[in-house]
Structure formats: C-alpha cells, structure tokens
Structure 1
C-alpha cells in the first residue's frame, strides 16, 4: 500500500480507504489509486487482513480426487460459501495421500471449519477433528462423534431401486458391495431387507467391492467367467455407486451382453456423468446441490454461534430411471 500511495501521490491511509471500499475518497482519487495498483500488480491480501482480525473466513473441503460425486458436491459448496461470505480451500485424499494428511493440511492453512466429503477415517479421529474445529461430514454418519452430518436416506434409495427391479420381474438380483465407502453398510442392509420382503432370500448375493470402476470391472469378469462354466447371469445388478456401475457396464457390453435386455444395471449417486453415457444409467439420485448447501450452512452457523450442538439432516433420494433397466426376460406374463 505504501508503494501504491507514493506512486498515486496520496497517503497510505487513503489507499486503505479505497481498498476497503469505505467513503472518504473522491471518485477521481479512487480511480487513480486502483489504476496505479493495477499497473504495479498489487492485490489486497484479504487473507492477511482477516487473520489480523482473528478470522480466516475459509472453509476447508476434504474430498477424494477420483470420486465424481464429490465434484458435484464441490460445485454446490462454492456458491453457497461465497453467498455467506466465506472462501473455500480444497485438499484431496489420493491413493498416496491419506485423509488425515488432507484434513491436517486444511487446518494448517487456518481453515475455520472442515467439510469432509465421504470420509473413511476412523470414528475416533473424526471425533477428534470435531473437538478441534467445526466439522461437517457429508455422506457418512458416525454416531457420537462431535460432527455435523449431512446424508441421504440410503435405505430409502435402495428400497426404491429394488421395488423398480422387482416390478420389472427381476428375481436374480445381485448387489455389488461398496466396502468401506460411505453409505455402503446401509445400502447392503437395505438390499438384503428388500430381498427378504419380496421372498427372494434364496437369491440374495452380495459381491464384495468398492466405490470404484475397478470393482465393477472385477464383478463383470466374475459373472462372465461363471457364465462360461454354465451358470446363468443375474438378471439385474444393484451397484454400490455409479462408478462401480460404469465399470460393470463396460465389461458386459464389450462381451456382447445386452444391457438392459439380458442384465439390468442400477447405480447410486446420479453423478453428472450418469446421463452422458451411451446408455443412460438408471440410478438413485442424491441431491448434491442441496447436500452442499446444508453442509456449508451447518459449518457457518456453528462458527457464528459456537454454542450450537452438532446437527444432522437426512435428505430424501429419488430413483432416476434411464436406459440400463428394463423388464426381465424371465418375468412372468
């Protein structure tokens, strides 16, 4: 600011007034100061200014780099944070970078609150984070941790998907498990409950997996190998999430399996790529925009009122029927 003041021929205090947008400078002076600042490449350091006041007004977001649904959540986080006067800083977990390291990096950069997208960390660590900073967990609920929770009603989403498949006449319905992925336990439990409800206990089959394309690819190869040994393909597969469904679709279609005529496939998330595939994916939609808004509001509200206790919101999912599900060939007339 001293450099700008000297070049513009005004006081440093007047430069400060211009940068803060406060009254006290004429339009001509304001224009001259801003022009000089632009000429010498000066930009006000808002972060330093906020830290001098004891605030960073920055929300840290921890996400997993290959999870497409996380990209949808981040797209919703930015506008809501900006609307409430907060900046956003991202830190990713990768195969070579743990969630712990990603979260600690956000805290080291003075983020006031953390929004964790589908965290896989131990419950004790999540509780510890919640004690150190305002923390919101999206898509995963951890009982008794001092963390706000935003997630969808996983069981209801699976129920809708299973009702859809059963109404189409499917009986041999396989579920690819999401492993430790967010919502996997609830989705697996809801799948088993739906099969029991429709008296299909003898057809229950849960194939271990993860929320990745690789899990779908492995399952596709497994099912094709079984077919070569004379075993029938399932007529429908409920994948742990959309990425898993994409991997499965790739293997099945390359092997000449007619989807959905021979095998129907249903995903979970309705991430932004689901309707862009050659065959639009039938999937359970989680409202990423609404989840993001709730996460940001929870974080900001507890920052502005530290006395608030952690809260939880459960959003209703909705089945979106596209081209990968159809009536089972063996369906009764």
Structure 2
C-alpha cells in the first residue's frame, strides 16, 4: 500500500480510503490509485483486514463429494452469501476424509458460521459444533442439537409420490431407503405410513440402501433375482434411482411398463437420465436462502436462538412412472 501511495503521489491513508470505497477521494484520484495498483500487481488483502477487526465475513460450507444435490445447494449458497457481504469456503466430506475433519478445516480457516449440507454426525457431535459456532443443518433435522434446521417436509414429499403411484394403479411398491443418510429415516417412516393409509400394509417392503448409485444397482439386482418384480420402486434419492434405472434397463426391464421408478431431490442429475425421472423436488435455491439468512442473522443479531424452516416439496412427474402393465 505504501508503494502504491508513493507512486500515485498520495498518502497511504488516501489509498486505504480508495480501496475501502469510502468517501474522501475524487474520481480522478481513485482512477490513478487503481491504475498504479494494477501496474504494481497490488491487491488489498481483505481477509487480513477483516480478521484484524475480529471478523472474517466467511461462511464455511460442508458438503459431500459426489452428491449432486449438494452441488445444487452450493451453487445457490454463493449468490445469497455475496448478497449479504459474505464469502464462502468449501470443505468436503469424502472417502478417507471424515466429516469431523472437514468441519475442523472450516473452523481453522476462521469461518464465522457453518452451513452443513446433510450432515451425518451424531446429534451430540453436531450439538458440540453448534455450541462452538453458529451453524445450520440443511436437509437433515437435528432437533437435539444447537443448530438452525432447514429442510423439506419429507413426509409430505413421500406422500405425494406414493399417492401418485397408487392413483396410477400400483400396489406392489417397494422402498429402497437411504440407510443413515440425511432425510432417510423420515422418508422410510413416511413410506410405511402411506402404505398403511392406502390399505397396502401387506405389500409394504423396505430394501436397505444408501443415497448412492451403487445402492440402487444392488437393490435392482436383489429384486431381479426374485420370482417377480414389484410394479413400482420409490428410491431414497435421485442417485439411488439412477442406479435402479441403469440396472433394470441393462436387464431388459421396461421402464415404466414393467417397473415405475420415483426419486427424491430433483437434482440436476434427474434431467440427465435416459428416461426422465419422476422425483420429489426440493427447492435448492430456497433452502440455501433460508440457511444463509439464518446464520447471518444469528451472527449479526445478539441472543437469537436457533430456528427451523420447513419447506414444501413438489412432485415432478416425468417418464419413469406410468400405469402398471395388465397381466
């Protein structure tokens, strides 16, 4: 900054005013300072300046590698954070890198608040994170932890999907669940409740799975090895649905003639499948907006308690569902 000031023929204080975009410098001076700074290759270190004041104005985002819906959420987080004057730092939970390590990395980089996308930690662990810093869980409700919670009404989304399948005439509907992954317990419970409500308890069946393509492939192989196929499968998410579609298609199963498949998320993946995927849409933009707003309001407002936002899902009907084939 001193070099810029010397070459531009102004004081260092005036250079600081220019880079902070504060009043007190003419447009001619501002142009000259910026021109000299560019010639010298100087860029103001905003992070250092903010840290000197005790703030990083950075939000840390925990995501899971290979989860398309996490990518959709991250894409939506950036503009919301920038709108409120915050930067975003990402840290990934991946094979060989634990969620705890990913969170610690964000905290070590002095992120002021954390946005946790589908966190998988135990409630006690997440409560500890929420007591160390302002944090929000997106996509998974953690009622016993000191976190903001932003999620879709899982039961409502599953109910829409199940009503759609039953109205088409399906009775043998299998659910491939998401194991311990975010939202899975609520979706599994809602599936069983919907089967009871439609008088199909005897047909109710949950196949253990995960939010992965591999889980969908394995579930399809299990079903294909049996005497007869169900007429419909509700997958735990779009990735699981993709695995089901791939395995069924390779085995020569007609989708949706023999088996209808429904996903959950309406991630960008659902638009890339050979057969357009019927799925329950979660509004990534609205989830991100609430998550960013919640943590920023708690950062900038004294004494705010954690809050919860529950957003409405919407069933998006495409080509992977149809009436079951007669006979």
Whether contact under 8 Å (1:114, 1:136) holds in the other structure is yes
Give me the whole-angstrom Cα distance separating, in 2, the residues matched to 1:179 and 1:320.
24
Give me the whole-angstrom Cα distance separating, in 2, the residues matched to 1:200 and 1:319.
21
**1:24-46 deviations in Å (ceiling 9; x for gaps):** 22322221211111112111111
Whether contact under 8 Å (2:18, 2:25) holds in the other structure is yes
Residues 301-320 of structure 1 correspond to what in structure 2 (within 5 A)? 301-320=297-316
Structure 1 residue ranges without an equivalent (≥5): none
Whether contact under 8 Å (1:169, 1:330) holds in the other structure is no
How large is the Cα RMSD of the aligned pairs? 1.1
Partner residue, 1:19: 19
**1:212-246 deviations in Å (ceiling 9; x for gaps):** 000001111112222xxxx1111000000000000
- Which stretch of structure 1 is more off in the superposition, 189-198 or 294-303? 189-198
Aligned pair 1:54/2:54, yes or no? yes
Partner residue, 1:285: 281
Q: Which of residues 293, 313, 317 in structure 2 aligns to 1:297?
A: 293
Report SS of the residue matched to 1:150: strand
Partner residue, 2:179: 179
Q: Which of residues 215, 218, 233 in structure 2 aligns to 1:237?
A: 233
Give me the whole-angstrom Cα distance separating, in 2, the residues matched to 1:92 and 1:120.
13
Residues 175-214 of structure 1 correspond to what in structure 2 (within 5 A)? 175-214=175-214
Give me the whole-angstrom Cα distance separating, in 1, the residues matched to 2:122 and 2:300.
28
Give me the whole-angstrom Cα distance separating, in 1, the residues matched to 2:27 and 2:305.
47
Aligned pair 1:75/2:71, yes or no? no
Give me the whole-angstrom Cα distance separating, in 1, the residues matched to 2:148 and 2:246.
37
Give me the whole-angstrom Cα distance separating, in 2, the residues matched to 1:330 and 1:93.
46
Structure 2 residue ranges without an equivalent (≥5): none
Give me the whole-angstrom Cα distance separating, in 2, the residues matched to 1:287 and 1:328.
30
What TM-score, normalized to structure 1? Answer: 0.96
Whether contact under 8 Å (2:93, 2:102) holds in the other structure is yes
Give me the whole-angstrom Cα distance separating, in 2, the residues matched to 1:119 and 1:298.
17
Give me the whole-angstrom Cα distance separating, in 2, the residues matched to 1:12 and 1:182.
52
CA drift at 1:162 = 0.4
Give me the whole-angstrom Cα distance separating, in 2, the residues matched to 1:25 and 1:304.
30
Partner residue, 1:33: 33
Partner residue, 2:247: 251
Partner residue, 2:322: 326
Partner residue, 2:135: 135
Partner residue, 1:88: 88
What TM-score, normalized to structure 2? Answer: 0.98
CA drift at 1:22 = 1.9
Displacement over 4 Å in runs of 4+: none
CA drift at 1:3 = 1.6
Give me the whole-angstrom Cα distance separating, in 2, the residues matched to 1:75 and 1:91.
14
Partner residue, 1:170: 170
CA drift at 1:97 = 0.6
